[in-house]
Amino acid sequence: MAIIKEIICTEADGSLSFGNYTVAEKQKLEGFKVGEDTYKVRTHKDVTRLSKNGNLVLETVPGAAVHSLKISANGAVFSIEGNGSTMVTIELEKDTNYSIYIDDVNVDKIKSNLSGKVSFSIELNDSPQSVKIIKH
């Protein structure tokens, strides 16, 4: 896997891939349509942010590349790559308990806040890591 040259794309399975943590200048794409939804991506070495219909979907600080993001009623799954310690914030169901798995290892149990945000830190290196966030 590698950076997403198109900034955002839809994969064959309907998931989304986005982000380019290797660029110093901000790259932005607005108006990316998937069905009835409109996505906006902003990405560079300091931050990667995906919004859907004006609301946060996922943000990484510093920037990262997110591959095959799927969000469902039961949580989210994706792969992520970048450089060093990275804070990930994802918006899911509000006031709900989740387990976070990184490369199939349960690393944390967390409750989303009243706006549905879940934040966690992940140590990224040259190879993509799989993330599963599963609702209890």
pLDDT score, position 2: 63
Q: Is 123 exposed, middle or buried (0-12, 13-18, 19+ CB in 10 A)?
A: exposed
Taking CA atoms, 67 is separated from 56, 131, 135, in Å, by: 17, 10, 21
Q: Give the chain's residues under pLDDT 50.
A: none
How high is the pLDDT of residue 43? 96
- All domains of the chain, ordered by start, with CATH? 8-135 (2.60.40)
Q: Give the per-residue pLDDT at 1.
A: 56
